[in-house]
Amino acid sequence: MEKELFVTLLRDRHFKAVRTILNAMNPVDTAALLAELEDKELALAFRLIPKEEAADVFANMNNSMQTYLVEMFTEKELKELLDDLYMDDTVDILEELPANLVVRILESVGQQKRNMINVLLNYPDDSAGSIMTTEYVELRQHMTVAESMTHIKKTGIHKETIYTCYVTDKRKLIGIVTAKDLMTADDNVQIKDLMETEIIAVHTHTDQEEVAKMFGKYDLIALPVLDAEDLMVGIVTFDDAMDVMVEEATEDITKMAAMNPSEKPYFETSVFNHAKNRIPWLLILMLSATITGQIITKYEDAFAVLPLLVSFIPMLMDTGGNCGSQSSTLVIRGIALDEIHFKDLFRVVFKEFRISLIVGVVLALANGLRIFFMYHDMNMALVIALSLVATIIIAKLIGCILPLLAKKVGLDPAIMAAPLITTLVDTCSIIIYFTIATKLFQL
Amino acid sequence: MEKELFVTLLRDRHFKAVRTILNAMNPVDTAALLAELEDKELALAFRLIPKEEAADVFANMNNSMQTYLVEMFTEKELKELLDDLYMDDTVDILEELPANLVVRILESVGQQKRNMINVLLNYPDDSAGSIMTTEYVELRQHMTVAESMTHIKKTGIHKETIYTCYVTDKRKLIGIVTAKDLMTADDNVQIKDLMETEIIAVHTHTDQEEVAKMFGKYDLIALPVLDAEDLMVGIVTFDDAMDVMVEEATEDITKMAAMNPSEKPYFETSVFNHAKNRIPWLLILMLSATITGQIITKYEDAFAVLPLLVSFIPMLMDTGGNCGSQSSTLVIRGIALDEIHFKDLFRVVFKEFRISLIVGVVLALANGLRIFFMYHDMNMALVIALSLVATIIIAKLIGCILPLLAKKVGLDPAIMAAPLITTLVDTCSIIIYFTIATKLFQL
């Protein structure tokens, strides 16, 4: 295996061979390989990475590796690393480092960069400001294409993207020029004749989920970020938007399974934190499920006479819960993708009602026939069939209405998912079932 | 509202004003605005869109609008549109159009383009080949930077991206040069000295989910696609990768709620198709839930003596289901994000076991105390507390093991989500509960 070979070469101090391997690797893969090393080997291997790739590898490491390396670095090494790191990566790393190392880093950068970092660190979590970078290409409207290309050649190497350039006037963003425009236009065309003035931009406080959605919608490579006075302060690049999309989908999925989302991957979250994220909703749902239990006790007499009644409870509860969570899942996802809005409430309800009729009849037939042939009890078959249809209709309506209502009142629709819907639908299905049963069997 | 104003201007034939509005809009927004128009207005408005944006607007329209317009177009209009559409968009559109219109389109493009379209249409759904485009910038290794820039200026306008250029030799991909490299290097540097030879590429049959993951991992703008003989045939661009990511997350979420995923958005899927996607899993789960019911009937005597026992069934079933789906959700998502692999099985099991101990004890205490104070029945409190702990441990273990096993045997882990886990855990929790209850109450 590559890893074992690498470790052997490193331990035996074949530094030239190690350098050759590291030289040929992509920074992302190098970071993954280094993650498998012991701390001491890590420090050694990191110093063998080609200088121009070191910052990129560092940005791709996990938090504990970064912490260890920053502790190990000399002043000079730290300074060099910080010079090469993009501003948004620097801020991401600082947010996760222990306080003493943050102080050390802030002391080793210049005054101007320190001020900039402090501004960026102060933007709210999950805002455009917190994920933006301040390194972008600025052009002026009276420049020609040739002048712009020269300007980019001089300043572009350390910009995170040079593919979208921003035309500013007194820090106000007045136009956007793509590198494609520059590369395919004639040298003497002026920027002001080339630039796009219909600008798509966000503000520093825009939620990162909104930002990611705009990337998806408009197929952007970068998006300018404006401050409260509409002056340009940074850009968000598409790679950060992709990360946000994955993060937000994970968050939604986690919430839909009745957990508080964790900021870290599964294995990096401690057992205690996993438990802490899961217990609150379990407690709430457990206590509300006891209400269903209380209702059952009201029908004690019924199932004392006809114990078979109890055996259909799991099937009814599960089917109701599944039907409800099908609807709520589709609506929650539709809301997240901007395909369903509160104004569509009646359209959704009408659609789900028709779907639940089809689903209800099919399931009622299947189960009713099964019961009739198994128990030869027409009445029981009828009770179950009717209960199923009614439960399915109510489950699907609750499932589609609640997420939209949550959205309307400013709650996260994702909490209106399977677990909560199931608990609510349980109560309804039990009431429907025993009401129909006591009527039909005259209990 | 903008829409009403727009329609009024269009109906009153103020074409100049309409043109000005359309001119200032982003193609994505134009497509959204046009979606609100009637068919006749749509055809009229589309013809007023600036020529250079028409293809982009068309590519952003929904299927029914595209169908209508293709039917309306003259030969000349169709030809112009097809000339301006990128190859991947053309293929996407063709995949959704009725057969007679596909024939019409294939007849109006040249022989070479027709052959290319036919090749692309034949790649499997969800493969890199089906989402790639064949328009990319090719360079030669002996070219200089200046020659390359001239080449791009001549040929680049109609390439989907010019930001990653591909250095080929007899159609074999030997290196990659970014536009950033070109723009910041000296004019007389040769491409072979500038190009990156560590190439990250996929094959035409690579699954699109894999492709999207590589974009996320390596922060790419474009990814080259090779055929079976390793010759370069196209590129996938980051905007298509983003769409795939959203699509795949939706598919996973839909499967996790026990539905077959729909290829179209919620409102564009018919009531009948919605029902068809939902019924199969509901039937399977409903019939397996009856097993739980059968087991309950075995304990008829127990709850005939102690009817209170029945009232705790919903609480136990729901809590077990919720605990199980919490674990399965995290594991399924971890697998999708490549954070959890089958080799981690024992690590995951051990972690979930410790989590379930904490969660179990907390929930058992909460509920045991509640029951003790409500019913003053120490035995009942003990039965419930013990059942809860046992159910939670088993639920979390089933929840984390099944998705990993599914992955191992080549099934989609997403089907091992809440609904299936709930049904399985139900059976276990009922058996545990009645076993403990009959022992402790000596029923």
What HEC string does chain A produce? Answer: CHHHHHHHHHHCCCHHHHHHHHHHCCHHHHHHHHCCCCHHHHHHHHHCCCHHHHHHHHHCCCHHHHHHHHHHCCHHHHHHHHHHCCHHHHHHHHHHCCHHHHHHHHHHCCHHHHHHHHHHHCCCCCEHHHHCECCCCEECCCCEHHHHHHHHHHHHHHCCCCCEEEEEECCEEEEEEEHHHHHHCCCCCEHHHHCECCCCCEECCCEHHHHHHHHHHHCCCEEEEECCCCEEEEEEEHHHHHHHHHHHHHHHHHHHCCCCCCCCCCCCCCHHHHHHHHHHHHHHHHHHHHHHHHHHHCCHHHHHHCCHHHHCHHHHHHHHHHHHHHHHHHHHHHHHCCCCCHHHHHHHHHHHHHHHHHHHHHHHHHHHHHHHHHHCCHHHHHHHHHHHHHHHHHHHHHHHHHHHHHHHCCCCHHHCCHHHHHHHHHHHHHHHHHHHHHHHCCC
Contacts B24 to A, Cβ<8 Å: 198
How far apart (Å, rounded) are the C-alpha atoms in residues A115 and A105? 13
Do the chains contact at A265 and B310, CB–CB below 8 Å? no
CA gap A253, A247 in Å, rounded:
10
Q: Which residues of A220-247 are buried (b: 16+ CB within 10 A; e: fewer)?
A: bbbbbbbeeeeebbbbbbbbbbbbbbbb
Whole-angstrom distance, CA of residue A390 vs CA of residue A353: 11
- Which residue in B238, B272, B319 is closest to A238 by CB distance? B238
- Report CB contact under 8 Å: B363, A179: no
CB contact under 8 A, A279 and B362: yes
ipTM of the complex: 0.83
CB of B378 within 8 Å of a chain A CB? The answer is: no
Give the mutation candidate from A22, A52, A242 for the B interface (greatest B CB count, under 10 A): A242
For residues A253 and B329, is the Cβ–Cβ distance under 8 A? yes
pLDDT band at B63; cut points 50, 70, 90 = confident
CB–CB contacts below 8 A, A to B: 335
Give A111-167 pLDDT, tens digit per residue. Answer: 888 888 888 888 988 899 989 988 899 999 999 999 999 999 888 777 888 899 999
Looking at residue A297, what is its pLDDT?
86
What angle separates helix B418-440 from helix B378-408, to the nearest 10 degrees? 150
Whether chain B has a CB inside 8 Å of the CB on A329: the answer is yes
Average pLDDT over residues B220-229: 92
A70–B contact, CB cutoff 8 A? no
Helix (H) or strand (E) holding B224: strand B222-226
**Chain B closest-CA separation from residue A285 CA (Å):** 7
pLDDT of res. B156: 77
Whether the CB of A405 is below 8 Å from some CB of chain B: the reply is no
Examine the pLDDT at A2 and tell me if it is beyond 80. Answer: no
In this complex, is the C-beta atom of B293 within 8 Å of any C-beta atom belonging to chain A? yes
Residue B346 has pLDDT above 90, yes or no: yes
Using pLDDT thresholds of 50, 70 and 90, give the confidence band for residue B403: very high
Question: Could you report the per-residue pLDDT of B309-318, keeping only the tens digit for each?
Answer: 888 988 999 8
Closest residue in chain B to residue A283, using alpha carbons only: B363
Taking the CA atoms of B364, B370, B373 and B375 in sequence, report the sign of the dihedral they define: negative
B377 touches chain A (CB under 8 A): no
Residue A400, CA distances (Å) to A342, A354, B246 in order:
11, 13, 21
Contact of B166 with B139, CB cutoff 8 Å: yes
**Tokens at residue A260, please?**
């508080």
Q: Do A146 and B173 form a contact (C-beta atoms < 8 A)?
A: no
Kindly report the CA angle at A143 between A138 and A144, in degrees rounded to 5? 120
Task: State how far residue B410 is from chain A, nearest Cα, in angstroms.
Answer: 22
User: Could you say which residues from 331 to 350 on chain B have a Cβ atom under 8 Å away from some Cβ of chain A?
Assistant: 331, 333-334, 337, 339-340, 344, 347-348
CB A364 within 8 A of CB A389: yes
Q: Does B318 touch chain A (CB under 8 A)?
A: yes
Query: H/E/C letters for each residue in B63-91?
Result: HHHHHHHHHHCCHHHHHHHHHHCCHHHHH
Contact: B310, A296; criterion CB under 8 Å: yes
Hey, are the CB atoms on B246 and A366 less than 8 Å from each other? no
At B43, list the tokens: 């055809």
What pLDDT score was predicted for residue B398? Answer: 94
Pick the residue from chain A with its C-alpha nearest to B151: A184
In this predicted structure, the answer to whether residue A1 has a pLDDT above a threshold of 60 is no
According to the model, what pLDDT value does residue A11 have? 86
* Most confidently predicted of A56-60, A82-86, A353-357: A353-357
Report chain A residues whose CB lies below 8 A from the CB of B325: 257-258, 418-419
- Whether chain B has a CB inside 8 Å of the CB on A365: the answer is no
Domains of chain A: 2-122 (1.25.60.10), 138-251 (3.10.580.10), 271-440 (1.10.357.20)
